[in-house]
Amino acid sequence: MSIITLCTDFGPYDSYAASMKGVILGINPKANIIDVTHSIPRHDITFAAFVVQGYYNYFPKGSVHVAVIDPGVGGQRYDMVLRTKDYIFVGPDNGVFSYILINQPSVCHEINIPHAVSATFHGRDVFAPAAARLSLKWDKSVLGNIIKRPVILDIPKPIISTRGITGEVIHRDHFGNLITNIPSAKLDAIAKNKVLDIFIKGVKIQGIRNTYEQCGNDAPCAIINSFGLLEVTINAGSAHEKLGARKGDTVKVLWK
C-alpha cells in the first residue's frame, strides 16, 4: 500500500482534486490517497510551504507528497520531483518545498511525462501521473534533468542579540494562533531559566505557558506549540483578530 498525500489550493467544490485522484488510481489502483487540504489560500506558496513542513515527516517512509499551488503552471518554472532519504515530493519548482530543501539533503529532477499535457492543469496531467508512477517504484523514466538550484523561498530567521531574540509571525492557523519562527530549542539553549517577556504589536506578554488552558481565556499568551515554535495565542479567541497581527509582524523575546 503506497501513500500519496495531496495538498492544493483547488478549493472546496471543483472537480480538479477529484480528477487528480482518478488519474492516480488509474495508474496505481492500490494507492492510498490522503487528502491534506484543498483549501490552501489561492496561490499562497509561502502558506503551503509551512503547511507541508507540518505533516510530511509524520507519514511512513516512502510516502509521496504532492503539493499543487501553481500560479506559474505552463510557464517557465519546472515540474519537479524532490527526493530525500525518506520521502518523495512532487510539485512545481516554485518554493512550495522550501522547508524540505533547507532542512534535508535532497536531489531534484525535472519531470518527464512524454504525452501531451494541458498548459493549465499540470496537477492532473503531470504531477498526478508522476506521483502515481513513483509510488509504484522509483521509476527513473519519470526523472528528467537534475534541477541544480531549485527555488527556495526567503524564510526569515530569528536574530539573536545579548538581550533577546527578534523573530516574526510566519503562519496564522485556523484558530487565529500566531506562529513565529522562534524555535523552543533556541530559547532553551540561550534563555533557559531566564524570565522572558514577549512583545508583539505593542503588547507585552509575561512568560511562556505550558498549555492553552493555563492561558486563561481572554489575554494574549505565549506558548511552545506542537511544531516546537513560539506561538502567540488567545485561548478562547483569535490572537490574530484581537491583536490585529499577521504574517510578517515582528515578535521579540527579551530577558534581563
- Smallest gap from Cβ 140 to a second copy, in A, equals 25
Between 5 and 84, CB nearer to a second copy: 5
Q: How far is the CB of 132 from a second copy (least distance, A)?
A: 11
What angle do the packed helices 128-136 and 16-27 form, to 10 degrees?
A: 30
75 vs 207, beta carbon nearer a second copy: 75
Cβ proximity to a second copy, 74 vs 156, nearer residue: 74
Taking the least distance from each CB to a second copy, the nearer of 143 and 232 is 232
Please, where are the H alpha helices in 31-162? 45-55, 98-103, 122, 128-136
Whether the CB-CB separation of 10 and 17 falls below 8 Å is answered with yes
CA dist., res. 39 & res. 14, Å (int)? 11
Pairing mode of beta strands 64-68, 79-83: unpaired
Give whichever of 30 and 140 is closer to a second copy, judged by the CB atom: 30
**Whole-angstrom distance, CA of residue 233 vs CA of residue 223:** 7
DSSP alpha helix (H) spans, 41-90: 45-55
How far apart are CB 1 and a second copy at their closest, in Å? 6
Cell numbers that stand for 153 in this block? 523561498
Q: How far is the CB of 45 from a second copy (least distance, A)?
A: 13
Shortest distance, position 104 Cβ to a second copy, whole Å: 16
Number of other residues whose CB lies within 10 A of the CB of residue 66: 26
